[in-house]
Amino acid sequence: MEAAFKNRSGQENLMAKYAAGSLGQGMAVLMASYVTLSSEARQRLSNLESLHGVLLDEAEPVSVSNDMLYKLQARLDDKLDAETTSAASDADTYGDSDIPAPLRAVLGQSIDETRWRFAYPGVRQMSLPIGDRGEEVKLLKIKPGNAAPRHSHNGVEATLVLRGAFSDGKKLFERGDLAIANEDIHHRPRAQGDEDCICLAVTDGALFFEQGVLGMVRDLFTR
């Protein structure tokens, strides 16, 4: 397959694992950010959580203390208040009001003041110190018209657009869109528009660059 796409089955698989709390840290932050940006994703998550609620209702009951519900509600209220206050404080401090709160909490600094490192011509990156189960978590900043070398994957690559847009084959991914690529995808995403494309990318397997070193070099200098 030549290009990545808005892989519905891949998204649903990640959403189901996110709702069940079974994702690694890096992918969980990405999905939390996706849900923050996408009303459609929030609805899908709500549907899954409702399903989990039905399954829980059908489970065998167990005995709990009389005040357990009160204590649980109090803890949830405290957690929600703390997260809301923290998100607002971060946005005021770092000026990244367009960056989803779950990612701001990880960054701890303005995304525009981040120390970006060279990845490829026209592409800079910053590795984030999160992720487990073999995950690699990165922020990517791609100048308009530039692209990474053509590659495939050993595992899943999830890419969430935070600013700008990129094309992959005939598909355009804009702010709030989530692109899923797997072992069957061979692609070369390219930034589109007039501004840098900034993405959060999480992989749980190695990337394979095609056509060897010479092919990769040719890709880097081919618009």
- pLDDT digits 0-9 by tens, 59-115: 466 565 666 556 656 655 554 444 444 444 444 444 578 899 999 999 888 888 878
What pLDDT is stored for residue 116 in this prediction? 93
Q: Where are the chain's structural domains?
A: 1-223
Q: How far is CA 210 from CA 9, 55, 134, in A?
A: 26, 45, 22
Predicted local distance difference test score (pLDDT) of residue 213 = 47
1-223 folds as Jelly Rolls (2.60.120)
In this prediction, residue 89 carries a pLDDT of 45
153 beta partners: 207
Q: What is the pLDDT of residue 110?
A: 85
Q: What residues of the chain score a pLDDT lower than 70? A: 1-7, 52-95, 151, 153, 205-223
In this prediction, residue 84 carries a pLDDT of: 45
* pLDDT number for residue 176: 96
User: pTM of the full predicted structure?
Assistant: 0.73
What pLDDT sits at residue 128?
Answer: 93
